[in-house]
Structure 1
């Protein structure tokens, strides 16, 4: 790689854009959705087929990691890759091979923060108000088992856009929020921030645990039996991050033992959750099929990110959602 090429890859200068010998700059694959094509063109990019002129790749997400690798091998001149989701774990098995190759990688980090945080709040309230159990009821029966979110002790695992937006939504409830993240850098809206190795300490006596972190080797299975046991009796657990962050067997055991008051899961392990899995039968568990960001407005949110990053690729502004291949997000 020449010094000039390296400079382009880090600065986002245009390669093969309009007026540069009709070279094709950006491919939108594996399906060229109208929203993403329009976003590239609004930003001044040229959309075309994947070939040796391609310098940017917007991956629309309808095919897996192997297809992405094949595209990059077919067009080795690609200097910037936009991934479609906030989490890059679907590509975790192949991304390490591209470490240090000079490409710029961006993802959907932050794109879906508002809808996912809203969904997390909905799951939290549903679990605390015992709606899973009551929605299944077939007779009128009153009880005082519901809990309130007002003034609750809430632990949020993760410190990205979803966590930040969730803390904003929780503010009217006057919660006491603790954020658990890789570093102890404070996050607005949280009373304290602690590192991941202190998750058990943070969970001690908490009323709510919300998982909103990326799946990495550090976070896989980190919400285990000991963390769940540390929560207050009747606490609720919500997961809008990734299923494997929570030990499913431990979660089931805590629900069945009555230690947890409920769970709200938009992601599971395994996923999709098979028919007949015990979680489906848990009376205090509400499950949504990974739809926290599935709104009519979602395509427009991703398109706005693509437009912004195409401009950065062409030298106008900074990239959003930069991926650290070493960190895994």
Structure 2
């Protein structure tokens, strides 16, 4: 099998292709493409009739779906699950910072202890979208003795959660929101999950609860969230992703006493590239062995 890495020929990914057992080649001669370093709109420059498989570098495929690049006749695989551990660590960090009010102490210019400090230990954590990231977060939370509530697409029980509901189970989602001290958003961005956390969902959250979003900004109604934070009913919101993104300079969320914003940094390139290389090597090996690929994109589902 001949594989091309591009538009940017990252050496780590080329090494992964070779380690998986394939041969590096030009785009024109390749039956497989490991995409890195360019927007989906550039895909047409490397696409050709002999292309059979494309490995994408991200877990979310929204830009690819929107661009129309996911054409028939080609198997596309995402990096779904590849970065779960890294993003889960960031989610836990955001939870701890919010619970202990570290953001307020970091911004302070005088010696003063903030009000509202609490702990994560013994709390109830609700996970909206308990896939790879959610499961990794549950494992990290075990030493904290938390009670986990989960929502996923299938409704199949999630290991470590005391209850799991289907995403379309309205009453189940409402129960999760009402009981959780921390609500973690980790679902894929699709038409069905757009503004999943809206004004109604925020109003149903437990007083003093924290919202943590490590998925996509489109899953949370930013205007409704800002209004809820201003009202003071929520403990706060910790956001690694926002809508719009990037968040405009001077946006109220940046300095809001109940908000923590990180610039989509849960999966920095220093951690992304090694993890992606491992996925590339594994999927190349699987392709050559005739085994199912990891992260096959379901265009109808949107991820």
Matches within 5 A, 1:2-41: 17=1, 25-41=2-18
Q: Which residue of 1 aligns with 2:55?
A: 82
Cα offset for 1:115? 0.9
User: Quick one: structure 1 residues 108 and 97, their matched pair in 2 at CA, closer, same or farther if it must change by over 3 Å?
Assistant: closer
- Deviation track 1:262-304 (CA, whole Å, cap 9, x = no partner) reads 1111111111111011111212211111111116343111101
Q: Please give the TM-score of this superposition, normalised by the length of structure 1.
A: 0.87
Q: d(CA) in 1 for partners of 2:203 and 2:100?
A: 21
Q: Distance in 2 between matches of 1:143 and 1:282?
A: 14
1:7 equivalent in structure 2? none
Alpha carbons of structure 1 residues 144 and 281: separation in structure 2 relative to 1, 3 Å: closer
Three-state SS of the structure 1 residue aligned to 2:149 is strand
After superposition, what is the alpha-carbon deviation per residue over 1:173-207, rounded to whole angstroms, capped at 9, x for unaligned?
12111111222111111111112233233201321
Distance 1:241 1:227, change over 3 A: same
- Aligned mates of 1:188, 1:97 — CA distance in 2: 33
Could you tell me which residue of structure 2 aligns to residue 217 of structure 1? 191
SS of corresponding position for 1:92: helix
1:34-55 per-position Cα deviation (integer Å, ceiling 9, x unaligned): 001111111121112111x321
* C-alpha distance in 1 between matches for 2:44 and 2:166: 34
8 Å contact 1:56–1:79 — kept in the other structure?
Answer: yes
Corresponding residue for residue 50 of structure 1? 27
**Structure 2 segments unaligned to the other structure (5+ residues):** none
> Which residue matches 1:91?
64
Q: Kindly state the Cα deviation for residue 224 of structure 1 after the two structures are TM-superposed.
A: 0.5
Q: Which residue of 73, 81, 95 maps to 1:110?
A: 81
Q: Give the Å deviation of 1:216.
A: 0.4
Q: TM-score, normalised by structure 2?
A: 0.94
The correspondence for 1:230, drawn from 204, 215, 227, is 204
Aligned to 2:41: 66
The equivalent of 1:170 in structure 2 is 141
Q: Which runs of 5+ in 1 are unaligned?
A: 1-16, 18-24
Equivalenced residues, count: 300
RMSD: 1.5
